C-alpha cells in the first residue's frame, strides 16, 4: 500500500517535472524565436539601407576656379578618385598656389554613397572582393584564428579564455568570436549583462546559419566602428581607409593595413591622435603577427619611422579640426537637385569658413545659417529645382525655411524702389538726405540713416546702391503711402496696414520667412524680365543693373575682384544690431537667399554683424570657388 502510494507520488512528481520542463522549453523556444525574429527585422532594415546610392555627377566647368585643398578632399571620396596631378599633366587643370584653374570641362563622376543611418556618420559598404586578403586574413589571425572552424560560438576559445582569466585573476582574454563581435557591433550595446551576452551568442549562431563565411567577413568590415574624425562617426573599411589615409582599401600599404586592424581593438583606446604611442605598440604587435602569417612583406622599410608617425598625426589633426568631413556628410543628406555634389560641398565649406572667421564675435551665441537656391525657370517655390539648407540639420528644415520668420532689414529695398519707379519716380530723381519726421498715431517717428555724408541731395540710384533710409521714406511720402501699399501687398501679403502708420516696414522692420523672401523676389524678377522682353524698360537703365555693380554698392569694401568684375544683382540686409543679416542675389540662372543670424536667446545680444561680412561672405566664397563659370545677370527668356 505504502509502495503504491509512494509510486503514485513519484509518478506525479515526474509528470509535474516533465510538464515544467516542457513549459520551460516552450517559453525558452518562444524567447529564442523572439530574439531571432528581432534579428531578422534588423537584417531586413540593413538590406534596405545598403541600397542607398548617389548617382549625381559633378562637372568642373572650363574657365572656372576652385581651390586645391577642397578639390583634393572631395576627390578622395569619389567612386573613382580623381587624380589632380594627372589632370595637370594632361593640361586639364592649371595650379597657382592654392587656386586651381579649370582648363577643360571635367566630369568628376559620382561621390561615394553614404549608407550609414546614424547621425553624423559616414559609411561606404564594399564587396568581399574589394577587401584585400591581407586585411581579412590578418584580422582572423589576430582576433579569431578558428573562424573557419566554428559555427558562431567557439567553446574551445571560451574555455581557453576562462582558464587564462582564472590564472591572471582578472579579465585578460575574451572568448568572443568574430561573428559575436559583429553581432554586438551591429545590433547590441556594450553593456556587461548576461542577457546581452546570451542574445549576442544567439545572434552569432543565426548569422552563421544564414550567411556564408565570406558574407560575415564582408559585413564585419563594412559595419565595424573605426573611430571619429572631425566630428564624424566612421564605419567600415571603405570609409576608414579614405578618411585616415586618403586611399581605397586596395591601395593601403601593409603597415597602413596593420594600423587599421590595430585600431579595431578599441578605436578610442588606440586613438591615433590622442593615444599615438599606444597605437604604435598595438600596430607593432599586429604587423609582426601578419609577418608570421606571411601576409605582409618582411621588408623592414615597410615599418614607419617616428617622423612618419608624426606627419600622419599632423595630417589627422588638421582633418579633425576641419569641417571638410562634416561638409561631405551633408552632401549626402542635403535636399534639392539644383546644385551638383561639388557645389554643395563648396557651399557647406563656405558656411563653415565664414562662421570660423566670425568665431570671436559670435562666441557663446546660437548662430544659424539658412539658404535657398532656386532655378530661374521656377515661378514659385513649389518647383523641384531648388536647393534648401539649414545649418541646424538635426532640426526640421521645412519649418525653418517656410515658417520661422526674421526681420529682413534692407534686403527688400529693391522691390520697394521698383514700386516707386512704377509710380512715376526715376532713378535719376534727386531726394534730400536731411532728417525727416513723420506724425504717426503711435507718435513721432524719425528714421535713422548712415552717418557717411553723401551730400544734401542724392539720386534714387545712389540711395538704393548705398541703401539709404531717409531718401526712401521721402520718396515714398511723395508717391503716397496708400499707392505704395497697394503695390507692395502683392509681394508682401502679411505686411501691416495702413502702411502710412507702419512706414518702418519699408526699411526692413518686417518679419518674413526665407521662403516668403524667395517668393517675393521670384515674382519681382519675373516681372522685371517681362518688362525687358516687351520693351517697356531697359536692363542697362534698370535698378537690377545698378545693383549688379558691386563696386558701387554696400558690398564694395567686401567684394573681391571677381565679384566686382561680374554683373550679379545683389542686396544685403542687416537689422536687430546684427542679429539678422541677409544677402539676396540673382544671376539670371539662380536666385539666392542667405540668412545668417541668431536662432534663439536674443536678449541683450548685439553682434554688430553685417550682411556684407556674413551672408554675402558665404555667397562670395561659394560663387567664386564652386568650379562653375560666373554667370552675369540675364533674363532666361530675353
308 occurs within a structural domain: yes
Tell me the CATH number at 260: 1.10.3810.10
Q: Do 499 and 434 fall into the same domain?
A: yes
The pLDDT value recorded for residue 27 is 55
Query: Is the backbone peptide bond immediately before 498 cis, with ω within 30 degrees of 0?
Result: yes
The residues near 96 (Cβ < 8 Å, ≥ 6 apart) are: none
pLDDT attached to residue 79:
87
Q: Which of 174-183, 277-286, 332-341 has the highest mean pLDDT?
A: 277-286
Both 526 and 489 in one domain: the answer is: no
Which pLDDT does position 204 carry in this prediction?
82
Cell 570660423 found at: 356
Mean pLDDT to the nearest integer, 41-65:
70
pLDDT > 60? residue 350: yes
pLDDT for the residue 457: 94
Q: What angle do CA 527, 531, 534 make, to 5 degrees?
A: 130
- pLDDT band at residue 476 under the 50/70/90 scheme: very high
Lowest mean pLDDT among 184-198, 526-540, 606-620: 184-198
Do 317 and 191 share a structural domain? yes
Residue 327 belongs to some domain of the structure: no
Compute the 3-state secondary structure of the chain and give helix, strand, coil in percent, each to the nearest 5.
50, 15, 35
Asked whether residue 637 is domain-assigned, the answer is no
| Extended beta strands in 359-492, E state | 367-375, 386-390, 406-407, 430-432, 438-440, 443-445, 457-459
* pLDDT of the residue at 163: 58
Average pLDDT (270-274) is: 93
Give burial (CB, 10 Å; 0-12/13-18/19+) of 9: exposed
Same domain, 293 and 212: yes
Instruction: Among 15-19, 223-227, 496-500, name the one with the lowest average pLDDT.
Output: 15-19
Mean pLDDT for all residues in the chain: 87
DSSP 8-state assignment for residue 134:
H
Q: How confident is the model at residue 153 (pLDDT cuts 50, 70, 90)?
A: confident
- Burial (CB < 10 A; 0-12, 13-18, 19+), residue 455, is exposed
Q: How many CB atoms lie within 10 A of CB 629?
A: 12
Within 10 Å of residue 209's Cβ, how many Cβ atoms? 10
Which pLDDT value is given to residue 52?
Answer: 47
Residue 70 lies in a domain: no
Assign 303 to helix, strand or coil.
coil
Mean pLDDT, residues 377-394: 90
Name the more confident of 194 and 389.
389
Rounded CA separation 231/323 (Å): 9
Mean pLDDT, to the nearest integer, of 350-371? 92
Residue 372, C-alpha cell as written in the block: 535657398
| Statement: residue 453 has pLDDT above 70 | yes
Q: Which of 479, 507, 535 is the last residue of a domain?
A: 507
Whether residue 172 is predicted with pLDDT greater than 50 in this model: the reply is no
Q: Is the pLDDT of residue 459 over 80?
A: yes
Give whole-number Cα distances, 39 to 187, 214, 549, in Å: 8, 19, 63
Same domain as 623, residue 594: yes
CA distance 481 to 327: 46
154-158, 244-248, 369-373: least confident range: 154-158
Q: Are 329 and 120 in contact (CB under 8 A)?
A: yes
> Radius of gyration of the chain from Cα atoms?
33
Question: So what's the pLDDT on residue 28?
Answer: 53
- Which three cell numbers, joined as nine digits, stand for 508? 526692413
* 150-159, 163-172, 545-554, range with the lowest pLDDT: 163-172
- C-alpha to C-alpha distance for 253 and 245, rounded to whole angstroms: 10
In a domain, 584, yes or no: yes
Residues 614 and 516 occupy one common structural domain: yes
> How confident is residue 480, by pLDDT bands cut at 50, 70 and 90?
very high
The pLDDT of residue 69 is above 90: yes
Residue recorded with cell 568642373: 60
**What's the average model confidence in pLDDT over 82-90?**
93
Same domain, 105 and 178: no
Residue 8's DSSP bridge partners are none
The yes-or-no verdict on residue 36 having pLDDT over 80 is: no
Q: Both 278 and 425 in a single domain?
A: no
Q: Verify that 472 and 556 share a domain, yes or no.
A: no
Greater model confidence, 632 or 262? 262
DSSP state of 82: -
From CA 247, how far away is CA 253, in angstroms rounded?
Answer: 10
Regarding whether 502 and 514 lie in a shared domain, the answer is no
pLDDT band at 159 (very low <50, low <70, confident <90, very high): low
Among 487, 507, 527, identify where a domain stops.
507
> In this predicted structure, what is the pLDDT of residue 21?
64
372 found inside a domain: yes
Asked whether residue 310 carries a pLDDT value surpassing 80, the answer given is: yes
| pLDDT at residue 23 greater than cutoff 60 | no
Report CA-CA distances (Å) from 439 to 71, 175, 279. Answer: 58, 85, 75
Residue 357 forms part of a structural domain: yes
Q: Which of 179-193, 212-226, 471-485 has the highest mean pLDDT?
A: 471-485
Number of domains in the chain: 5
Q: At residue 146, does pLDDT exceed 50?
A: yes
Query: 338 or 353: which carries more pLDDT confidence?
Result: 353
What whole-number distance in Å separates Cα of residue 479 and Cα of residue 291? 87
Please report the sign of the dihedral spanned by the C-alpha atoms of residue 27, residue 29, residue 35, residue 38: negative
Strand partners of residue 233: 121, 228
The partner residues of 571 in beta bridges, in order of sequence, read: 584
Give the model's confidence band at 43: pLDDT under 50 very low, under 70 low, under 90 confident, else very high.
low
For the chain, what percent of residues have pLDDT higher than 70?
86
Among 321, 346, 378, where does a domain finish? 321
Q: Which residues sit opposite 592 in a β-bridge?
A: 373, 585
Give the pLDDT score at 101: 97
Do 169 and 294 share a domain, yes or no?
yes
Q: Are residues 495 and 515 in the same domain?
A: no
What is the span of the domain harbouring residue 564? 338-405+510-632
- Please tell me the predicted confidence (pLDDT) of residue 56: 83
Instruction: With respect to residue 329, please indicate whether it lies within any of the assigned structural domains.
Output: no
How far from each other are the two terminal CA atoms of the chain, in whole angstroms? Answer: 115
What's the Cα-to-Cα distance from 91 to each of 104, 342, 624, rounded to whole Å?
8, 21, 21
Cα 236 versus chain centre, distance? 20
- Average pLDDT on 408-429 reads 96
Task: Give the pLDDT confidence score for residue 51 in this predicted structure.
Answer: 46
Amino acid at each position: 500500500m505504502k509502495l503504491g502510494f509512494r509510486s503514485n507520488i513519484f509518478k506525479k512528481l515526474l509528470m509535474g517535472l516533465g510538464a515544467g520542463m516542457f513549459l520551460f522549453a516552450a517559453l525558452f523556444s518562444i524567447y529564442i524565436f523572439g530574439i531571432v525574429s528581432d534579428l531578422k527585422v534588423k537584417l531586413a532594415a540593413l538590406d534596405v539601407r545598403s541600397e542607398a546610392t548617389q548617382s549625381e555627377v559633378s562637372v568642373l566647368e572650363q574657365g572656372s576656379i576652385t581651390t586645391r585643398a577642397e578639390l583634393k578632399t572631395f576627390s578622395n571620396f569619389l567612386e573613382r578618385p580623381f587624380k589632380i596631378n594627372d589632370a595637370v599633366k594632361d593640361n586639364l587643370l592649371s595650379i597657382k598656389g592654392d587656386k586651381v584653374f579649370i582648363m577643360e570641362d571635367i566630369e568628376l563622376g559620382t561621390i561615394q554613397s553614404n549608407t550609414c543611418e546614424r547621425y553624423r556618420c559616414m559609411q561606404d559598404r564594399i564587396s568581399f572582393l574589394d577587401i584585400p586578403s591581407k586585411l581579412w586574413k590578418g584580422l582572423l589571425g589576430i582576433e579569431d584564428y578558428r573562424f573557419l572552424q566554428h559555427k558562431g560560438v567557439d567553446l574551445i576559445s571560451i574555455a581557453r579564455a576562462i582558464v587564462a582569466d582564472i590564472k591572471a585573476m582578472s579579465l585578460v582574454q575574451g572568448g568572443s568570436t568574430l561573428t559575436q563581435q559583429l553581432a554586438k557591433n551591429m545590433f547590441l550595446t556594450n553593456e556587461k549583462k548576461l542577457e546581452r551576452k546570451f542574445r549576442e551568442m544567439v545572434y552569432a549562431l543565426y548569422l552563421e546559419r544564414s550567411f556564408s563565411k565570406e558574407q560575415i567577413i564582408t559585413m564585419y568590415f563594412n559595419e565595424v566602428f573605426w573611430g571619429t574624425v572631425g566630428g564624424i562617426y566612421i564605419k567600415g573599411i571603405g570609409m576608414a581607409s579614405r578618411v585616415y589615409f586618403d586611399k581605397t582599401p586596395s591601395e593601403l600599404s601593409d603597415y597602413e593595413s596593420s594600423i587599421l586592424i590595430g585600431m579595431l581593438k578599441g578605436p578610442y583606446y588606440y586613438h591615433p591622435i590622442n593615444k599615438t604611442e599606444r597605437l604604435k605598440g598595438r600596430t607593432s604587435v599586429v604587423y609582426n603577427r601578419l609577418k608570421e602569417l606571411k601576409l605582409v612583406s618582411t621588408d623592414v622599410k615597410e615599418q614607419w619611422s617616428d617622423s612618419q608617425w608624426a606627419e600622419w598625426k599632423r595630417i589627422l589633426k588638421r582633418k579633425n579640426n576641419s569641417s571638410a568631413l562634416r561638409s561631405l556628410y551633408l552632401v549626402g543628406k542635403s535636399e534639392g537637385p539644383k546644385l551638383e555634389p561639388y557645389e554643395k560641398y563648396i557651399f557647406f565649406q563656405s558656411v563653415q569658413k565664414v562662421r570660423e572667421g566670425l568665431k570671436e564675435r559670435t562666441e557663446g551665441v546660437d548662430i544659424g545659417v539658412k539658404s535657398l537656391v532656386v532655378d530661374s525657370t521656377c515661378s514659385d517655390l513649389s518647383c523641384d529645382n531648388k536647393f534648401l539648407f539649414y545649418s541646424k540639420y538635426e532640426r526640421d528644415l521645412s519649418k525653418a525655411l517656410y515658417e520661422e520668420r526674421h526681420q529682413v532689414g534692407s534686403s527688400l529695398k529693391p522691390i520697394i524702389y521698383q514700386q516707386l519707379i512704377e509710380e512715376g519716380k526715376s532713378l535719376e530723381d534727386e531726394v534730400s538726405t536731411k532728417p525727416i519726421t513723420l506724425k504717426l498715431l503711435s507718435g513721432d517717428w524719425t528714421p535713422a540713416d548712415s552717418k557717411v555724408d553723401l551730400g544734401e541731395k542724392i539720386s534714387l540710384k545712389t540711395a538704393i546702391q548705398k541703401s539709404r533710409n531717409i531718401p526712401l521714406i521721402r520718396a515714398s511720402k511723395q508717391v503716397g503711402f496708400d499707392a505704395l501699399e497697394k503695390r507692395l501687398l502683392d509681394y508682401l501679403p502679411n505686411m501691416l496696414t495702413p502702411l502710412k502708420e507702419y512706414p518702418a516696414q519699408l526699411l526692413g522692420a518686417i518679419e518674413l520667412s526665407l521662403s516668403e523672401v524667395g517668393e517675393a523676389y521670384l515674382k519681382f524678377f519675373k516681372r522685371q524680365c517681362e518688362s525687358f522682353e516687351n520693351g517697356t524698360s531697359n536692363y542697362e537703365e534698370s535698378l537690377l543693373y545698378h545693383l549688379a555693380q558691386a563696386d558701387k554698392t554696400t558690398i564694395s569694401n567686401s567684394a573681391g575682384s571677381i565679384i566686382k568684375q561680374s554683373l550679379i544683382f545683389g542686396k544685403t540686409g542687416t537689422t536687430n544690431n546684427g542679429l539678422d543679416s541677409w544677402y539676396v542675389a540673382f544671376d539670371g540662372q539662380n536666385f539666392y537667399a542667405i540668412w545668417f543670424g541668431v536662432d534663439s536667446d536674443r536678449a541683450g545680444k548685439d553682434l554688430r554683424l553685417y550682411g556684407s561680412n556674413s551672408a554675402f561672405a558665404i555667397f562670395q566664397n561659394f560663387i567664386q570657388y564652386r568650379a562653375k563659370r560666373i554667370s552675369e545677370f540675364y533674363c532666361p527668356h530675353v
